Amino acid sequence: MKVTVVSRSGRELVKGGLELNDSASVADLQEAIYKRTKKFYPSRQRLTLPLPPGSKDRPIVLNYKKSLKDYCDGNSDNITVVFKDLGPQVSYRTLFFWEYLGPLILYPVFYFFPVYQYFGYKGERVIHPVQTYALCYWCFHYFKRIMETFFVHRFSHATSPLSNVFRNCAYYWTFGSYIAYYLNHPLYTPVSDLQMKIGFGFGLICQVANFYCHILLRNLRTPDGSGGYQIPRGFLFNIVTCANYTTEIYQWLGFTIATQTVAGYAFLVVAAMIMTNWALAKHRRLKKLFDGKDGRPKYPRRWVILPPFL
């Protein structure tokens, strides 16, 4: 069949179109486009079916695993696809590794090295036990995240735009340094022993729960990386859609209760807001996908992320 590839402005991207097998898959089409354009490797391509002008609907995105025939409505000799360049892409593993590496490395710098003399604080620094526990907790947390990135998570998309590397690293590295600065400060004031124990204890429990949530989510997807969405079940997922975010937020709450810095609370609030946005989108997506029609199960009534608020 003949495939015409146009940009969103209507310009033909591949002069003369492409000639493909009738049984070709979308992935084959992406390979062919890459061969002709040389610059746009498959993960950079977003291919959609053309929409009638003025239509307010969201365009249908071609899934790389499906065969092209599935998208031809009747006329299987000709099809037009609209191309969008998603920009340079990196794998999610690369993205997560770099954003988590910053906090893992930068925080210990404030603990181990005499950086505070450059901020004007001369003299000896007394290290409180809570500061040592905080270092362990923090580094364990980001070490866990990196391990999960390589061995646990199964991603719905293979790649993310390169620009996200800069944006996400700026977020994690800046907040990480901001918190590390205050937590290891020579004039740091610890909280009571009891408060510290409760905070770290609660945080550790939530980290374990969070790990278990990640295992449950992993088992919803097949190892071949085909992504897709399932209804999460078991453990806290029975009452809350994004139990993984819930446990993550509570884990930071535990850490901040134990260490008591305004910087820590600021990070907690921002992180909770970001995760709430993700949770709302995921909850909506799952409810839309599992609407109870055509034999599909209906998504059960659950909290989105933070019972009893949302």
Partner 1 sequence: MAGVFSLLRRLYLTLYNWTVFVGWAQVLFLAVRTLKESGHEHVYNSVEKPLLLAQTAAVLEILHGLVGLVRSPITATLPQIGSRLYVTWGILYSFPEIRTHFLVSSLVISWSITEIIRYSFFGTKEALGFAPSWLMWLRYSTFFLLYPTGISSEVGLIYFALPYIKKSEKYCVRMPNTWNFSFDYFYAAILVLGVYVPGSPHMYSYMLGQRKKALSKSKRE
Residues that bind partner 1 (CB under 8 A): 182-183, 185, 187-189, 191, 259-263
182-198 b/e (C-beta count within 10 Å ≥ 16 → b): bbbbeebeeeeeeebee
Query: Residue 83 or 137: which CB sits closer to partner 1?
Result: 137
DSSP assignment of 229-252 equals -----SGGGGTBTTHHHHHHHHHH
- β-partners of residue 4 are 80
Shortest separation between residue 115's beta carbon and partner 1, angstroms: 15
CA angle 53, 55, 59 (to 5 degrees): 100
CA atoms within 13 A on the CB side of 6: 12
Shortest separation between residue 120's beta carbon and partner 1, angstroms: 11
Shortest separation between residue 184's beta carbon and partner 1, angstroms: 10
Shortest separation between residue 158's beta carbon and partner 1, angstroms: 32
Query: Residue 114 or 228: which CB sits closer to partner 1?
Result: 114
Residue carrying the six token digits 């449950």: 216
Shortest separation between residue 193's beta carbon and partner 1, angstroms: 15
Query: Residue 235 or 265: which CB sits closer to partner 1?
Result: 265
DSSP assignment of 118-178 equals GGT--S--PPPHHHHHHHHHHHHHHHHHHHHHHHT---SSSEEETHHHHHHHHHHHHHHHH
Query: Residue 116 or 212: which CB sits closer to partner 1?
Result: 116
Query: Residue 119 or 309: which CB sits closer to partner 1?
Result: 119
